[in-house]
Structure formats: C-alpha cells, structure tokens
Amino acid sequence: MFDNLSPLDSRYRADNPALWKTLSAILSEDAYVQYCLQVETALVKALADEGLCTIAAAEEIQKACESVDSKEVQAEEEKTKHNIRALVNCVQRRVSDDAKPFVHLTATSVDIMDTARSLQVRDAVDQIILPQLRELLQLWISIAEREADTPQVGRTHGQHGVPITFGFALSEYVSRMGGRIKALEQACANLRGKMAGAVGSYNASSLLLPDPIAFEVRVLDKLGLRPADHATQMVEPEYLNDLLHAVITAFGVLANFADDIRHLQRTEISEVGEEFAASQVGSSTMPHKRNPWNYENIKSMWKTFMPRMMTVYMDQISEHQRDLSNSASGRFAMEMLAGFSLTTARTIRVTSKLAVHREQMKKNLESTAALTAAEPLYILLAAKGHPNAHEFVRSLTLQVQQRGGSLLDAALQDPDARQYLEHMTDFQRRQLEDPASYQGAAREKTLAVCRQWKTYLEGLT
Amino acid sequence: MFDNLSPLDSRYRADNPALWKTLSAILSEDAYVQYCLQVETALVKALADEGLCTIAAAEEIQKACESVDSKEVQAEEEKTKHNIRALVNCVQRRVSDDAKPFVHLTATSVDIMDTARSLQVRDAVDQIILPQLRELLQLWISIAEREADTPQVGRTHGQHGVPITFGFALSEYVSRMGGRIKALEQACANLRGKMAGAVGSYNASSLLLPDPIAFEVRVLDKLGLRPADHATQMVEPEYLNDLLHAVITAFGVLANFADDIRHLQRTEISEVGEEFAASQVGSSTMPHKRNPWNYENIKSMWKTFMPRMMTVYMDQISEHQRDLSNSASGRFAMEMLAGFSLTTARTIRVTSKLAVHREQMKKNLESTAALTAAEPLYILLAAKGHPNAHEFVRSLTLQVQQRGGSLLDAALQDPDARQYLEHMTDFQRRQLEDPASYQGAAREKTLAVCRQWKTYLEGLT
Amino acid sequence: MFDNLSPLDSRYRADNPALWKTLSAILSEDAYVQYCLQVETALVKALADEGLCTIAAAEEIQKACESVDSKEVQAEEEKTKHNIRALVNCVQRRVSDDAKPFVHLTATSVDIMDTARSLQVRDAVDQIILPQLRELLQLWISIAEREADTPQVGRTHGQHGVPITFGFALSEYVSRMGGRIKALEQACANLRGKMAGAVGSYNASSLLLPDPIAFEVRVLDKLGLRPADHATQMVEPEYLNDLLHAVITAFGVLANFADDIRHLQRTEISEVGEEFAASQVGSSTMPHKRNPWNYENIKSMWKTFMPRMMTVYMDQISEHQRDLSNSASGRFAMEMLAGFSLTTARTIRVTSKLAVHREQMKKNLESTAALTAAEPLYILLAAKGHPNAHEFVRSLTLQVQQRGGSLLDAALQDPDARQYLEHMTDFQRRQLEDPASYQGAAREKTLAVCRQWKTYLEGLT
Amino acid sequence: MFDNLSPLDSRYRADNPALWKTLSAILSEDAYVQYCLQVETALVKALADEGLCTIAAAEEIQKACESVDSKEVQAEEEKTKHNIRALVNCVQRRVSDDAKPFVHLTATSVDIMDTARSLQVRDAVDQIILPQLRELLQLWISIAEREADTPQVGRTHGQHGVPITFGFALSEYVSRMGGRIKALEQACANLRGKMAGAVGSYNASSLLLPDPIAFEVRVLDKLGLRPADHATQMVEPEYLNDLLHAVITAFGVLANFADDIRHLQRTEISEVGEEFAASQVGSSTMPHKRNPWNYENIKSMWKTFMPRMMTVYMDQISEHQRDLSNSASGRFAMEMLAGFSLTTARTIRVTSKLAVHREQMKKNLESTAALTAAEPLYILLAAKGHPNAHEFVRSLTLQVQQRGGSLLDAALQDPDARQYLEHMTDFQRRQLEDPASYQGAAREKTLAVCRQWKTYLEGLT
C-alpha cells in the first residue's frame, strides 16, 4: 500500500482503513466496472421486456455480468484499447451465440459509463457521505445545546467584540452544514443516466424500437435513475457539477470550523483543546507541544480538493456531441468524494473529543469587559436620544484605555450622559454593569437553530 | 473612460454603453451606497413601527437617505476610515438632533452592507441577467425549431459519428441553459439579509426590543428579503456562493456553445458563419480573413471570470464571528455578474445573426456516409442475431476505406451477413441505403426540449 | 468614478489616487494605444533604415503616431470592428499618400499588440512595481535590524514553541521578498516582442526583405526588446506567464505577512498594532474596536488576484497559429499588476506605522517559559548520552503542567537525569534557567539576511 | 490495484506499469521514508564530524537507517501520532543505548521532512522528468526537421491565414518545451534543505555547536543540497513553487500540442493521424471510429493537474513560524509530478507514431489559395506605393468569393493596381502566382530553432 503514488491510497488509507474500504467498494475502478455491468444488465432486461431478445438470453447475460471483474476487463482492454468494448467482450465470451448479439445492443459506451458514474456518485453520497454529515450535524447540535449558555467573547477581526455563547458559535456550523446537507440531497436526487446512443439522438435504438425515448426511461427506471433532460454522447454535465459544488461548499464549512477551532487553541486563547493521548507526541524536538494537527489536516485537505472545482468547471466544455477530454479528469473527480469523506470522518472523530475550557472562555471575556461595554452604552444613550452617542462613547473608550476604570462610571461623570442614563430599565442597567451578561439572543438563537435541524434529523427515521 | 484600469470600465464599456449603464446603476459603488441607504431607511421605519422613535424622525431620516450620494460618503470616509460610519454621518448631518440617534440604531455595519449586497445581486439577476438569459433561450429555441430537420453529422472526438440534425445540436444548449436559468432563479430567491448585530446574536437590539429575531424579519420584509438562517457579523456565505455557482455554470454553457460555433466555422467545416459587415476588417494584414472573433471573446471572458469561483470558495472561510478578509474580494465578486451579463449580450447579438450553411452541412455529412452506416449495419446484424456483428462490421470498414464502395454492398457479399439482412423492414433498409436519413429521434427530441422551455417561458408572462 | 463597475476604478482608485494615475498611465487602454503607436513608429523607422520607404515618410508617420489617441481609435474601431486596423487608419489619415502605404507595412496586428503588451508590462514592473518592492524590502530590513534582539516566542501550529526574536520573524519576509524581487527582475528582463507576421513565419516581410529575421531584431532593438525565440501569430506565452507567476508569488508573501501581523494583533496576543488615527472609527456599532482592516485588505486582495493565474495557465493554449480566445483574458491580466501594486503600496503604508509592543512580546514569551524549556532540556540530556531523553522530558512536561514548577527543577529531582546535567557549560545552564535567552542564532541569522539584501539594494544605485 | 481510489494507482498504473514503478520508487510514502532516513544519516554523520558523537555511533545509526521501512514506521506512528518521532523510535530501537541519543539530535521533524521532500523532487525531476522531456524534445526536433518543407496552411481563429510548413508548426513546440526544460532545470538546481531546528533559528544546535549555520551547510552538503536562504520551521516555499510552476507550464505546452493534433485529426481536416492497431476499437457502437483519444487524454490530464497550482499558491501562507495546514496538501503536490510524467510518456508514445498526411495538407492549403494570396498582394501593392492597398485587396476578396478566379487576375484588371504590380521581382511574382510557395522564412526558422535545441541536447552528453 505504501508504494502507491496517491496519499489517498497510502497514508490516508492507513489512517482509516475501514472507511477506505467502504469508499473503495463504491469509488474504485473495481467498483466502477461492477456499476457498468449493472447498467448492461438493466439494458438487456429492458430489451427482453420489449421482445427484442428472449428472457433466457437476458438471464444468461445477467448471470455473465455477475461474474466479470475489473482485472479481466483490464486485460482485454490491452487488446481493444477501449474499456467498454473490453467489458462487452468479457460478457460475450461467457454467453451462448444466441445471447451474444444482445449484450450492449443499441448502447454506446458512454450510455453505460455516464449512467454507472451517476449510480456510483449516488451511492457514495447516499450511503457514506450523507450519513457522515448527519452524524456530524447531530454531534455539533449536542455540543451547541450543551454550551448554549457558556459565555464567550464574540470576535471580529480577531478582536474582542461583544459577548456571545460558545453554543451560539457552534450553531453557525449547525446551520451552515444543515444547509449544505439539503443542497447535497437535492443534487444527489437529481443525478441522471442516459441510454440515448452515440450522439444522444437515439439513432441505434430508433432502428429497433418505436419509442426509444420511452425505452430509455424504462432502462434507467430499473436502476432508480431518470434520464438527463438532454444528452449528447454524454449526460449534461451540470447535474454532477451541482453535486460537486455542494460537496466543496460543505468542505468549506469543515475548513472554516477547523480554522476557528485551531485559533481557539492558540496558546494565548486556549478556549478549546484537542484531546491528547498519553503516548502521543506533539513535536519530535519540542516535547511539550500539543498541536491542533487534526484541524490543520482538515484545512489542508480542503486546500487540496477545493481547487479541483476548476477541473469540474472546465469539464463543462466538450466539443460538439462530445470530445473525450473530460474522461481522465472525470475519473479523478471521484477523489473529491473520497477526500471529503475521509476529512468528514476526521472531523467527527476529533470533534467528539473536543475539550471546552469554560473558565478560560470566561477569563478571556472578562479581560476586556471594560471595553466591550461600549456598544450597549452607545445603544442606550442613542435610544434615549443622545444626538452624538457613538462619538461620545468612542472618546470614552480612549480615555478608559489610558486611565482604566469602567465605561459606565466614566459616562456617569458626564452630566449630559448621566441624564440620558437615568431612565434605564433594570435589565438594561444590568447589562451595562455586567458586560458578560450582554449576550443578546445568543441562547435563544442557538436553541432555535438546533431545534430546526433536530426536527430534520428526526424526520429522516 | 479609457484611462480606467479595468477593461470592464473601458474597452467593454465602449462596446456596449447602454448595458454598461444599466449594470452600473445596480452594481457600481454609487449604486451600492444607494442600496445601503435603502436598508438604513427600512431599519428606521421598523424602529418607528416599534415605537422606538417617532414617525417624524423616521421620515426625516428617510428623506435624508434619499439625498446622500457616494461622493459625499467617500469624502467623509477619508476622515472616519470606515465606510458605513461615514454614510451614517452623512445622514445624521441632514437631520435634527431629535432624529440623529435613530440613524443606524441597533445595527452593525455589516447588517447594512450584507443586506445591501443581497439587494444588489437580486436586482442585477432579476432585472438584467434573467431577462437576458430568457431572451437567449427564446432565440436558441427559434433556431432549434427552424433547424429541427436540417441534417448534420454528429461529431464525437472531432470525428464524424452518426447523423443528427442541427436543431438537435442546438437543443443541447436550450436544455442546459434552461436548467441553469432554473438554478439561478432558485438561488436568487434564496438570497438573504440580516439585522442581527455585531456578532449575529442580536446584542444591541435585545437591549431595546423584546423579540429582536422577529424585528429582523420585519426590517427585511420591507426590502423583500428574508433573514439568513444564522448569521455571525455576516450573512452565511453559501446563499451567495450558490448563486455565483449558477452564474459560472451558465457562463460555462455560453463558453461551450461558443467553442462549438467557432469550430463549425473552421475553413474546412464552414457549416455556420458569423455575419460580417461590408466595412468590417478581419485582419490587419490578411484582407480576406473572416474570423469568429465574437465567439472567441465569449470563450475568453469565460476564462477570465470562471477562476474567480476560487475566490468565492476561499471567502467561505472567515474566522470566528468574521474577519474582514472577504471584504475587497466580495466587492470584486460583483464583476462576475457584470462580465457574465456583457458576454450574454454579445452571445445574443451574434447568435441572432448566425448564418446556417445547410448545403455545407449536407456535404460534410455525405462525405463519410459510406462509413457512418457502420453503426446501423452493426445494430441490425446484431438484432437479427449475428453473434459477432461489431467485429464483422469493424473489419468491413477497414476494407471499404481501402477499396471504396458502400458498407451495405460489402456486407451483402458475405453470405452469412446476407442471411441476417434478409428480413429487414423497409424503414431499416432505407436507413442503411441513405445514411443521412439515419437520424434517430433527433427531430422529436429537439421539438420536445423546445416545447418544454417554451412552456416555461410562456408561464412567466 | 464611482459609477465604474470595477473596484479598481472606483473604491481603490479613491483610496490612492496618485498611484492609480501612475498605473493608468501605463496599464490603461489609453496607454496601450500609445504603446502600439510606439511600435508602429519603430517599425516604420526600421523600414526606412532598410530603404523600403523614405526617411521623410517615416518621419511623417512618426509625427502622426504622436498625435493619435485612444478615443479616436475607438471611434474608428466601431466601423472596422478591428482595433489595429482602426489605429492604422487613424495614422494613415494624417499622412500624405506617399507615406500611407508604409504604415504597418509587413506587420500583423499581433506584432504590434504583443510587442506593446511586453513594453507595457516591462514599464509597469520596472517603473512602479520593482521600486515599490525595494522600498518595502528596505522598510522590512530596517524593522528587522531594529528588532533583531527583541525576544518573542516562536509559534508553530499557533502554539508556543521555542523563543526567537521579532527581527528574526521579519527576516523571513526580507528573505522571501528578496527572492521574489530577483525572480521578477529576471522575468521582466526576459519579456519579448515580435515582428514575424501573421503566422510567425515572416511571410510578408520575406517578400520585401532578404533577412526578415534580422529585420525583426532591428525593429525590436529600437524598443529595447528582443524577439521571442519562436512566434506564431503571438509571442510564446511563457515569458509573460513566468512574470505573472513571480508577481503572484510575491503577492503570496504579502498575504502571509498580513496574516501574521493580523494574528499578532489578536486581543489576546497584542504584540503589534496598526496605528489608529484619533478620528478613526473601528466599528459602526462597537466604538471601542481597533481592527487590523488594512492587513485584512491585503489578504483579501490576494484572494482576489491569486486565482487569476488559472486564466494565465489556460491562456497558454491557443489553437494552431493562434485563436483569439486569449484576447479579452489577456487584457484583464493587466489588472493583476495593478491590484498587486495597490496592495504593495498599502503594505508599505501600514508597515511603516507598525507599533511593536515589546513588553507584551516578553510577557507572552514568559507565560510558557516553564514549558518551552523542554527542548533545550531534551537536547542537553540527549547530547550528554541520555538514551531516552525525549520521552523523559515529555513525561516531565505533563507533570509540570499539573503541579507547576520549572522543568529544570523537576529534572534535577531525577537522579539519573541529574547525572547527565552535571557537566553543562555555563552557557547551556543559562539557557535552561532563563528560557527567554534560548534564542539560538536568531540575531545572527537576522543580521545576515538583512546584510545580504542591503548589499543588493546598495548595488542598484 | 483496482481497489485503489486514485486513478493514478489503478487505471493509469495499469497503463504504464514500468514507469509507475519508477515513479513509486521516488514519490511514494515508501520512498519518502527512505529519503527521511537518508537525511537522518547525513545528520548523524555530521554530528560525528563535529565530535558530538562517536563515529561508531554514527555508523550504527546509519546501518539502522538502512533497514527501517515505511510499514514499521506506520505501525509505530499509530502509537505516537507523529510520523518522524515514529521513524526515530524505529531507528533507536535498533541501536545501542550509547547511540540512541544521537538519532535526530538537534533536528526538528521538518528539518528531516522538508529536506527529504527536496531530495525526492530533485530525483524525480533529474532522473525521470527531465530525461523524458529531453526525449520528447529530440522527437519533436526530428519531426520538425523532417517536415521543414512540408507545405501546410497557417491557421488563425481556425481560419486559413497564409502558408507555413508543418515543420514550422512543430518548431513552436520545440522552442516552448525547450524553454520549459531550462526553467525546470533552473528550479530543480535551486531546491533547498534545512537543518535549522524547530522555528528556524537554530536553537537546539546552538546549544551544542559554535556555528550552527555552518553546521547546516555541512549536513546538507552530504546530500547535495544547499540550505534555504531563510527558514522558519519550514524551508521557504518559493523554491518548490517555482519548480511546480515550471512543471505546470510544461504541462500546458503538452496540452496545447495535444489540442493542435486533435484538431488536425478532425474528419474534415485529416492532416495527421494517431496510428491505430488492427485490433483496436474506436467506439463500442460505431465500428468505423478512429478517435484521437490519446491526445484527449493528454488534455484531460492537464485539466486534472493544472488547477492544483492553486493549492501550491495557498500553501505559500503559513502562520508565524509555521502552521501545519500545508502538510496533507504538500503530500498531494507530489502527484503533480507523477501525473505530468505519465502524460509525458504518453505524448512520447503517440507522437513517435504520428502519421503525417502530406497530400491532405497540400489539398487543404490549395483549397483557399485564391484567397490566401490576399496578404502578399496587399503587401506588394503597398510596398510599391499604393496608398490604399489593404482596402483595395479586401474588396477584391469579396469579389473573388462571389465570382471566382484568382486575386492576381482580378487585381490586374484594375489599371491603377496593374501599374504598381509592373515592377515586381520574379521572386515576388512567383509568390503571387503560386500562393503555396508563399512560406516566408518558415523553413529557415524551423531549422534555426531545431539547431538551437540540438546544440543544447548535445551539450548534455
């Protein structure tokens, strides 16, 4: 395994052998050949339904398809230099002369290949990726609900802004990933097959069948797919492009989450931690290091796979009824699914052990409480009618930074301001006096977002 | 104008000044400031609805908002170094001290900016881009229907395959662009605003309002928008990402169309032409040249704007409750809409003058008729039970290439093959004898695709 | 100006009008037309040198070229639909019938345009970008030397590692940008022109001249350029690609620097600061904010322009002796130079006001001194022969994290370890006792790097 | 093998098993571990040179390094979660207690890994890629020289322009690939290592050595590398970035070549052919097809790997003295070398069998000879003083397109034009009468370019 060229098939296989095997069972060349054979089987069964061949011939071919494997096909391809012709030859040599002509009849190679690709992607998404993402969503929901009241400072530009809760920070990821799951489900349900022949105009099937367009529907129905709205030699590329866009934007959500967690682990911030095994080494030369390397890996995998959308976008262009310049690149596109799945598994693994340092969150929040009160003070002054509240408070903050003390005290020393502040409600006063309590609707929003996606998850079962 | 740095604002402005002006009215910095002022107006009106300020104050502010322009804001920004604070100052200096505090009250800058951005994008798509794409769709439908029966050879790998019709070739673009229009409509209807404050947790509005989440809904409702499902300082980026993905994939469809038309204009193929004005020059040194430069421009604009999706994907990542590193890049993202719109206009312009050379299409098709009959011959032999039809016909093609003659004649000289071919229907025989008639369901599919999208277009009015 | 579509020509023009004007004078369409006219002038003078036209004709044409402007060319192009033919017409209408035929004689449009492009890029780099980068290099050198002894903790993975100095951290950028300046100089000196005619094979000039290859050398020599090693209609694209790669990697160095400075400004770290004007506003709702928005802008501009290398790489491909699909995209490529230059100017502006908080650096460093001593302790133990030093110290750090105290004290309580530590030199002991002094060769390396690049800068003048 | 996820390790491995094995021997994880062990060996030998450990210990360690393999390291990494610590443990367990402490002494993991990476890349480029590119260059030179006189029409915009020779068309690729080979050689010679410790400031080595900067030079010298000009935990990324830019632009040259050859194989053009084996199948349903699938594969591989430069550019950015977010992505970057090498091998394979159809080239050229004479006619008229030659000839071409006949005859019917044409040289007249002979310096340029690069290739041996 370590002689492979791709890290997917060496280092990252070793890292998660069980998932790798599951992915291989759907996304490898071995698997692709099997999907192609499923399509050939569906085709011949539909030919038999139409009376174009006998049921016996169809069953003979189906049985043959069940015993062909990629190794044999590859050996045959060395002669034919054509992968689907090789596969057809392998099937044909297993069946009687009576059945032989009905293998692949009316189809062009890409009828088989593009349909197989859609099946492969559909299964990878339905059986592996969506379950993973839902598991991650559930995990994030649990933590967000648990931490819905944990005070944390909200940060913009890396600077302390106003308070939130840690649950609120996580609910961002619940909401964004929830949205991506929906986008992925929609794109997955919209994958299509084709059985429209060499240039998409049903030439071959028209020779033998009165309604070749309906025939295509019937073949694909056996595989749980619908036909593309239009096809040349290929399925329109946009169905798959939309799905890969959904995958890559979901990957972006993972990368953003990883960046946030990485930065919250900075020595000076230390609000969360990645659990370390007692035997684990952080650095080969700095024995004290506890590095957020898993979150760094998530970001790095995103950097690896995100730019491949450029290939996907370039593969939208194919000359006339198709050129083959999307063939190799289309094969490599499947790596995007594998890379994303492996990274999602890692995210689940490390997030499930996320250590939350509530005391440190509180300490960091309080360290700037004198200043983060600037917003509520300005808002209250303005709401009471102070014509120049923002500028007044901005000057106060400069003063407090130099001389210390609280903003509220400084404001109350200004006779003008004092007058506006007299009529505060108790609720308002409390928020000025205890800036950490100034959390707005952080808790309510967190719970509402979690509720929305729990309902979604419950609806699935 | 020609002193500008961007070709969008010099060369391509000069090329289509009317469209440029329309785009500028929505996508320029001037326009952006106006959208921001609309959001400030909606906010203060909602504050008045809640009784937080007087109706008089709200009206005073609305009126002030109507008279501020980007030049004044820019001048103020040189002092504040903050664009929205500058805008607020410009509004405040127009209103009474009573109204002053209610300008921008409870909002953070990005409440205004991200909401304004969504309005801007929505208007650009709804008012300019979708109408253009529907016009193009209608144009392509007209040509596809008109040419539904025009025989053309189908090409794969740049090689002659089997016949189609030119209308069928165009129906590919009708279908793909139809799908992109739908994707764009859906993404456009899903653009969102926010009024959730500095870090998305409604801190400021919670100070003054019992239900800040409902308040956000009411402010945005005045602008025809819904709130983001979750916000930090920013609206979740995926709403806009999905829209730009729809734009870029629609751009890919234009680029693919342009490549096809370019190649059909090759001297040796000459199946279509770009209309040339009598005074037009093709080359400064080769006076005879008639170049497909408009289609080349379409492709070139796609190459210019497609990679910007990388920026969009990178902008998914923002630290904690936001860092500002998506600010400049987000501004440049608006160029993608402008570039796409200008290119769509060009596509409409040149496609509407597309010259179709039917005689040349026929001539090219017939030049290989002897060989393109290989598929129907193989299909018929196989359907009749020939156990080795593909290989038999493949050998025949090598023979015909060397000795000339028709494939059918060569096949009939083989006693074995002759036997299978005896029982052909008249329809089948005709297709072997007149390969140009071997068009499958090209016509039917063309008309079905056109019907689908005409129904869509009719449903809009 | 604010009605423009591109932020380059509105917001970022307003931000730095002087630099914008300088850039416009080289990179705008106006300027491009002037460069084209310079090439036409060089051509006709070379024709006169060869005796193909009179010196009077050449002078007449040169004078005409000096008075044409882009506005007139644009108006003419509306008729010809061809930009260089338009330009030639504008020149021809200014000269006598005797001189007319010698305008543009033997040249194809791209001879003029690609040569003009190289002149434009060369001037932008030589006159604007390289001087900026050298100014930035000098600035970074000054700060690095000044802070060569300022202790700071070295950070890997966002975690405290072992000490460095702040000057050493900056010397990274001196060295990397120095390297990019060299790469840029080399690529700039290797820009090329051409005068090889419509398809690069000197067809037209061969009709009139005995050695057209030598003629090309003489024309370009008048402009300070060499010919491309080979040309089709176009100059080989790699000369410009290499230059843009140098620009984009230099941009990456700016972005990395900006990220570092942003993070060092985090509230919890606060080791550096962006100077704030007294009147400057950090947030429209949080009056206390001091955001690192300039560094965020630098990063954002990098995100905007970096992906455009994809366009550059796609533009390497042009069919046969050229297709025009690199025309629009090639025009937009010039924006990369403008965007980079504007960003470099901002980097210089804000770096020159960088506030260094030495006390805070010291405080942060000391906060983990107990742990950052782990490395020297392990190294010394190992060097003295401890067979298991890394694992031993790794266990100690877990112990110190729980119980407090210094690593050295803890180690000395281990009889085995104590034995190894007996023979330390004074220098070694000091580094264990005062971890902040454990800076290795940070100072020496800083000064060596600065010296190298100061020598380079001095050598220029 | 077909259970792998990456096409590199399944389909494209099967396609070229010999090359795959050679690549694996340098670029796999197995190989990477061996390179790391080489670096550890160089380090300990340098420690012995300095007297920090005994020669016996160094030899013991060297021997141990020779017997460790990646499988054992991987098993150990499952415990340590740190790859280099795992490797060090594997070495240490093979040596005596006396030698143990000197394994990896003074080094940080990335000292080993970045240096090993440079060795790996250097060897892949020097031993595999450069020899391949030189073989390809030699092959292109042979064909270009052989076809230096073969007339072909020059094409711009897919339209016939003026004549060239086929050798001239190929000399474009000789020149461009020659340039890329030079760029790659330069970048390869500039790869660097480091031995500067955890944050690049030689902290650990300073504890033990008087001149750690000189020590780094000595370690790397044993491996044939120089140190980076500056390092943090990592080697400055630009050395490798420049090399990958050279690789990707060389890839672009392959892709451009493949596009040209694909288009020249279009049915209507047929100027070249990809040799087909008698048993080879072009289409599973169209038995007559002969597709340029190898050239399509070359283009497709370029689309696969080119966008990965975005990852390379993103990996320029690493926070402070490094974050690890370039780790996984850096591993995948090695695939770029493998993908390029496999594609170069394919290019050599299919180009060596390129069939050149000279008759068809001639036929295509002559089909538009009446029009391609437009340029020489215009040039001659202008050179003789016709004040309006371009417009005059442009009108003639419209006339000839309608009425037929030759441009020269049409021109001679114009009394004005006839007068200018009286004084043509024989050479000039011949070019007007036989447009195919109007080839300019195509032959001379071809031979000059070939000569230049043959000299280069001869200089290597």
Q: With the C-alpha atoms ordered A57, A58, A64, A68, is the resulting torsion angle positive or negative?
A: positive
Question: Which chain B residues contact residue D265 at CB under 8 A?
Answer: 158-159
Between chains, do A204 and B440 touch, taking CB under 8 Å as contact? yes
3-state secondary structure of B77: helix
pLDDT of residue A278: 66
pTM of this structure? 0.97
Q: Closest by alpha carbon to D341, among D223, D211, D260, D247? A: D247
Distance from CA of C268 to the nearest CA of B (A): 14
Q: Is residue A219 located within the same domain as residue A349?
A: yes
Q: Is residue A273 located within the same domain as residue A331?
A: yes
Q: Closest by alpha carbon to B227, among B189, B194, B271, B269? A: B194
Domain count, chain D: 3
Find the CB nearest B387 among A88, A97, A229.
A97
> How many other CB atoms are found less than 10 A from the CB of residue A359?
10
Q: Is residue D303 located within the same domain as residue D212?
A: yes
Q: What CA–CA distance (Å, rounded) separates C454 from B263? A: 55
pLDDT of residue B246: 98
CB B373 within 8 A of CB B432: yes
Contacts of A437 (CB under 8 A, 6+ apart): A163, A430, A431
pLDDT of residue A258: 98
Whether C275 has a pLDDT exceeding 90, the answer reads no
Identify the chains in contact with C, defined as 3+ C-beta pairs within 8 A: A, B, D
Between chains, do A290 and C374 touch, taking CB under 8 Å as contact? no
Q: What CA–CA distance (Å, rounded) separates B144 from B450? A: 8
Is residue C133 domain-resident?
yes
pLDDT of residue B278: 65
Is residue C383 domain-resident?
yes
What is the band of B316 on the pLDDT scale with cuts at 50, 70, 90? very high
pLDDT of residue D319: 97
Between chains, do D108 and A334 touch, taking CB under 8 Å as contact? no
The residue from C367, C401, C420 where one domain ends is C367
Is residue C120 domain-resident?
yes
Judged by CB atoms within 8 Å, which residues 372-431 of C form the interface with A? 372, 374-375, 378-379, 390-391, 393-394, 396-398
CA angle C439, C445, C449 (to 5 degrees): 150
- Residue located via tokens 């019709």: B165
Strand partners, B227: B193
Between chains, do D97 and C201 touch, taking CB under 8 Å as contact? no
Q: Is residue D73 located within the same domain as residue D134?
A: no
Mean pLDDT of chain C: 95
Is residue A188 domain-resident?
yes
Relative to beta strand D151-156, strand C192-193 is unpaired
Judged by CB atoms within 8 Å, which residues 173-202 of A form the interface with D? 197-198
Q: What CA–CA distance (Å, rounded) separates A213 from A220? A: 11
Helix (H) or strand (E) holding B151: strand B151-156
Distance from CA of C153 to the nearest CA of D (A): 10
pLDDT of residue A276: 66
Q: What CA–CA distance (Å, rounded) separates C394 from C377? A: 10
The residue from A66, A88, A105 where one domain ends is A105
Between chains, do D29 and A4 touch, taking CB under 8 Å as contact? yes
Distance from CA of C438 to the nearest CA of D (A): 6
Whether C276 has a pLDDT exceeding 70, the answer reads no
Identify the chains in contact with D, defined as 3+ C-beta pairs within 8 A: A, B, C
Is residue D14 domain-resident?
no
Distance from CA of C348 to the nearest CA of D (A): 19
From first to last of its 461 residues, chain A has per-residue pLDDT tens of: 999 999 999 999 999 999 999 999 999 999 999 999 999 999 999 999 999 999 999 999 999 999 999 999 999 998 888 899 999 999 999 999 999 999 999 999 999 999 999 999 999 999 999 999 999 999 999 999 999 999 999 999 999 999 999 999 999 999 999 999 999 999 999 999 999 999 999 999 999 999 999 999 999 999 999 999 999 999 999 999 999 999 999 999 999 999 999 999 999 999 999 776 666 777 777 777 778 899 999 999 999 999 999 999 999 999 999 999 999 999 999 999 999 999 999 999 999 999 999 999 999 999 998 888 889 999 999 999 998 899 999 889 888 888 888 889 999 999 999 999 988 899 999 988 887 889 999 999 999 999 999 999 999 98
C-alpha to C-alpha distances, D255 to A311, A450, C248, C313, D258, nearest whole angstrom: 14, 50, 23, 11, 5
What is the band of D276 on the pLDDT scale with cuts at 50, 70, 90? low
Q: Is residue B174 located within the same domain as residue B316?
A: yes
In tens, the pLDDT along C277-289 reads 666 777 777 777 7
The residue-averaged pLDDT of B345-353 equals: 96
Q: With the C-alpha atoms ordered B402, B403, B409, B412, is the resulting torsion angle positive or negative?
A: negative
- Provide, rounded to the nearest whole percent, the portion of chain B with pLDDT above 70: 99
The residue-averaged pLDDT of B305-333 equals: 97
Q: Does A214 touch chain B (CB under 8 A)?
A: no
Best of A284, A314, A317, A331 to disrupt the D interface (most D CBs within 10 Å) is A284
Q: Closest by alpha carbon to B272, among B161, B346, B353? A: B353
Q: Which has more pLDDT, D370 or C268?
A: C268
In tens, the pLDDT along D102-160 reads 999 999 999 999 999 999 999 999 999 999 999 999 999 999 999 999 999 999 999 99
Weakest-pLDDT range from A5-9, C260-264, C270-274, D126-130: C270-274
Q: Which has more pLDDT, C280 or B8?
A: B8
Q: Does D303 touch chain B (CB under 8 A)?
A: no
Q: Which has more pLDDT, B176 or D288?
A: B176
Q: What CA–CA distance (Å, rounded) separates A80 from D295? A: 17
Structural tokens at position D113:
């890994």
In terms of phi and psi (left: phi > 0; alpha: psi -120 to 50; beta: otherwise), the region of B110 is alpha
Is residue C81 domain-resident?
no
For the residues of B17-55, what is the DSSP string, one character each? HHHHHHHHHHHSHHHHHHHHHHHHHHHHHHHHHTTSS-H
Whether B403 has a pLDDT exceeding 70, the answer reads yes
Best of B84, B202, B284 to disrupt the C interface (most C CBs within 10 Å) is B284
- Residue located via tokens 């740049």: B158
Q: For chain D, give the number of residues.
A: 461
CB A6 within 8 A of CB D4: yes
For the residues of C143-187, what is the DSSP string, one character each? HHHHTTT-EEEEEETTEEEEEEEHHHHHHHHHHHHHHHHHHHHHH
Question: Which chain A residues contact residue B255 at CB under 8 A?
Answer: 316-317
pLDDT of residue C278: 65
CB D439 within 8 A of CB D433: no
In tens, the pLDDT along C325-369 reads 999 999 999 999 999 999 999 999 999 999 999 999 999 999 998
Q: Does D255 touch chain C (CB under 8 A)?
A: yes
Q: Is residue A70 located within the same domain as residue A87?
A: yes
Q: Does A351 touch chain C (CB under 8 A)?
A: no
pLDDT of residue C343: 98
The residue from D75, D105, D135 where one domain ends is D105
In tens, the pLDDT along C134-157 reads 999 999 999 999 999 999 999 999
Is residue D281 domain-resident?
no
Contacts of C195 (CB under 8 A, 6+ apart): C43, C106, C107, C111, C115, C205, C215, C216, C219, C220, C227
The residue-averaged pLDDT of D228-247 equals: 98
- The chain C residue lying nearest D427, using CA atoms, is C207
Q: Closest by alpha carbon to C198, among C110, C318, C101, C82? A: C110
Q: What CA–CA distance (Å, rounded) separates C125 from C250? A: 13
Q: Does C152 touch chain D (CB under 8 A)?
A: no
pLDDT of residue C285: 74
Question: Which chain A residues contact residue B201 at CB under 8 A?
Answer: 154, 162, 164-165, 168, 439-442, 445
Question: Which chain D residues contact residue C324 at CB under 8 A?
Answer: 156-157
Q: Is residue D154 located within the same domain as residue D208?
A: yes
CA angle B53, B57, B59 (to 5 degrees): 120
CB A103 within 8 A of CB A91: yes
Judged by CB atoms within 8 Å, which residues 263-302 of A form the interface with C? 263, 265-269, 278, 281-293, 296
Is residue D17 domain-resident?
no
CATH code of D82's domain: 1.10.275.10
pLDDT of residue B300: 98
Weakest-pLDDT range from B439-453, C255-269, D273-287: D273-287
Q: For chain B, give the number of residues.
A: 461
Between chains, do A79 and D279 touch, taking CB under 8 Å as contact? yes
Q: Is residue C311 located within the same domain as residue C401?
A: no
Reported for C407-410, long-range contacts at CB under 8 A and 24+ positions apart, including other chains, are C407/C370, C407/C371, C407/C373, C407/C374, C407/C377, C408/C373, C408/C377, C408/C432, C408/C433
Q: Is residue C323 located within the same domain as residue C271?
A: yes
Best of C320, C392, C394 to disrupt the D interface (most D CBs within 10 Å) is C320
Structural tokens at position C120:
């434009």
pLDDT of residue B276: 66
Please give the DSSP secondary-structure letter assigned to residue B229: S
CATH code of A174's domain: 1.20.200.10
Between chains, do B242 and A245 touch, taking CB under 8 Å as contact? yes
Find the CB nearest C6 among B9, B71, B286.
B9
Provide the total of helices (H) and of strands (E) in chain B, helices listed first. 23, 6
Q: Is residue A136 located within the same domain as residue A273?
A: yes
Dihedral (Cα; B262, B263, B267, B271), 10-degree rounding = -90
Between chains, do A159 and C278 touch, taking CB under 8 Å as contact? no
Mean pLDDT of chain D: 95
- Residue located via tokens 């003083």: D385
Distance from CA of C147 to the nearest CA of B (A): 28
Q: Is residue B237 located within the same domain as residue B361?
A: yes
Q: Is residue C256 located within the same domain as residue C378?
A: no
Full domain range(s) for residue B56: 24-105
Between chains, do D285 and B379 touch, taking CB under 8 Å as contact? yes
In tens, the pLDDT along D176-235 reads 999 999 999 999 999 999 999 999 999 999 999 999 999 999 999 999 999 999 999 999
The residue-averaged pLDDT of D307-321 equals: 98
